[in-house]
Amino acid sequence: MDAMRCAGVASLVIPLVVLSAAACAAPSTAVESPGLEHAWRELFDGASLGAFASTPFGGEGEVSVVDGRIVLDAGSPLTGVTWGGEPLPQVDYELELSATRLSGNDFFCGLTLPIGDAHATLVLGGWGGALCGLSSLDGRDASENETTTFRGFESGREYRVRVLVTATRFRAWLDGESIVDVGLAGRRIGMRPEVARSRPFGIACFATRAAVRGVRVRGVRVRGVRATVSGS
């Protein structure tokens, strides 16, 4: 990841979208009470890639389905899968998956997903194996903005990841513990070009072997706002 950073953050952020005041007018608190969410939509059935396909990064490792998990072999440097099925919502949704670092010492889950008209990547275990954060906010990647945190990850251990995206806030949890909670009003949302092929939704790892399962999404309602969710 150090080599990726050296290219310069200013030149490494692709299309940046400023969330307008109108887009941020909705309240930021999601109502998570029963009955105010749509049903979960399973994106991976544990038997085949389905609507996922290996991401053509160049130098990617093998992608396979083994024992109910998508296994991403280590690439040079990236391996991943990209969703090609029915579009995901852009805001007012939750997404969950379980991810495991099988070997290696860099990020085992680079989760690229829509935030309004833009896309960003939640990084777990990057920059030497411990960094978590959101790339990118205002031209600053996960190692340089206020979402940066560090934590130890055990190889072979499965971690449950949950993300909540609303018009005004991005939140993420790891095994139920909050790791990112950031407001989006007036922020420029972008992503690093290395993972551009993960759009509109994808999961990638960097020079690391990883596995994912239990990938699912559902729409949520925000106070005063009804989520627009494909298939709801």
- 230 is a domain residue: no
Q: How many domains is the chain partitioned into structurally?
A: 1
- Dist CA 232 CA 172 (whole Å): 23
- 75 is a domain residue: yes
Condensed to tens digits (0 to 9), the pLDDT of residues 29-81 reads 343 333 367 899 999 999 999 999 999 999 999 999 999 999 999 999 999 99
3-class DSSP state for residue 147? Answer: coil
Say if residues 99 and 158 touch (Cβ distance below 8 Å).
yes
- 227 is a domain residue: no
The pLDDT of 145-163, averaged and rounded, is: 97
Condensed to tens digits (0 to 9), the pLDDT of residues 176-223 reads 999 999 999 999 999 999 999 999 999 999 999 999 999 999 999 876
CA dihedral 145, 151, 156, 159 (to 10 degrees): -70
- 53 is a domain residue: yes
The CATH number of residue 33's host domain is 2.60.120.560
Give residues with Cβ within 8 angstroms of 197, minimum separation 6: 55, 56, 57, 80, 82
Structural domain of 62: 2-222
Question: Facing residues of 183 across strands?
Answer: 169
Query: Is a pLDDT exceeding 80 seen at residue 2?
Result: no
3-class DSSP state for residue 11? Answer: helix
**Tokens in use for 87?**
């579009």
- 231 is a domain residue: no
- 229 is a domain residue: no
Q: What long-range pairs does 66-70 form, CB within 8 A, spacing at least 24?
A: 66/211, 68/213, 69/100, 69/211, 69/212, 69/213, 70/44, 70/203, 70/211, 70/212, 70/213
- 232 is a domain residue: no
pTM here? 0.82
